[in-house]
Amino acid sequence: MGAPEPLSEQDLAAVREELAAGKPAMVWFTPEAVGVPVNGSAKVVGVDAVAEGEFIQVRPAGSKDTMFCSPGELTRTRPPRRRKAAEPEAQAGAATPAKSAASPAKSAAGASSPAGAAEPRPAAEVPARKPAPRAAERKPAAVPEEVPEVQAPPAAKAAAEKRRPPGGQRSADVTVTLVSSPDGEWTVEVMVGKKRAVRPTPVQAADVAKAARSLPGPVTEAIEASLEAARRRQQERVEQLRSELEAAQRALQELSG
């Protein structure tokens, strides 16, 4: 079976319509997705207006967290269900000839004496009719009963792996990035593995300073230095604007006088 088709423009339009109608839009992960199980299901939470990069926000099944994906990492094609292994039936079919093989041997033993013979069978031949050989031939018939017990654990384990939440299948590194602009504006971004979980979001400088005090010394010093530099730039700007305001007020007074 070929690879599932990624989300097309028509699929995205249908997803947007379902979200607008309040209906859950289901998608499945393709092999392009990282950190999540292939063919795992998810619900679409939102679709950005700008269709660029990872603009589709989804919530994987069994998880309360959301993540952003690109159209190539999702599909609307439901993956086929895995068929159960037929090893027990194959083993049972293989054991049937062994059981039937005993019948020719028994028929051959019965055919060794002529039909209608009246003379009694010697006592020495009686042990040959003991069921021990037939019991040995019937022994393989019990194998199919033991095969499911051996094969079941891997199948059950695979089913459990399929139902396990994404966070339980594969641990991904979480990267939190703080970015400061020359004007002292801060943003935070969160990456889970290679997936961007939180887009750059504005953060107050006071919150950054508060969080910096609980971090290691070198990190605290670097953040405080950036905050201090931003304060100086803002102070210089305030002084410049004050001077311009005073000059404008003097000019206005001269024009009014």
Domain boundaries, the chain: 1-79+131-171, 178-256
Q: Cβ neighbours of residue 197 under 8 Å, at least 6 residues apart?
A: 65, 66, 67, 68, 174, 190, 191
Residue for token digits 């700007």?
A: 237
CA distance 245 to 251: 10
Q: Cβ neighbours of residue 12 under 8 Å, at least 6 residues apart?
A: 47, 51, 56, 71
Task: Give bridge partners of residue 24 from the DSSP assignment.
Answer: none
Tens of pLDDT, residue by residue over 98-149, are: 444 444 444 434 434 444 444 445 444 444 444 444 544 444 444 444 444 4
Please say if the pLDDT value at position 70 is more than 50: yes
| pTM of the full structure | 0.37
Greater confidence (55 vs 129) lies with 55
Burial 20-34 (b: 16+ CB within 10 A, else e): eeeeebebbbbebbe
CATH fold of 1-79+131-171 reads: SH3 type barrels. (2.30.30)
Residue 168 banded pLDDT, cuts 50, 70, 90: very low
Residue for token digits 């994404």?
A: 166
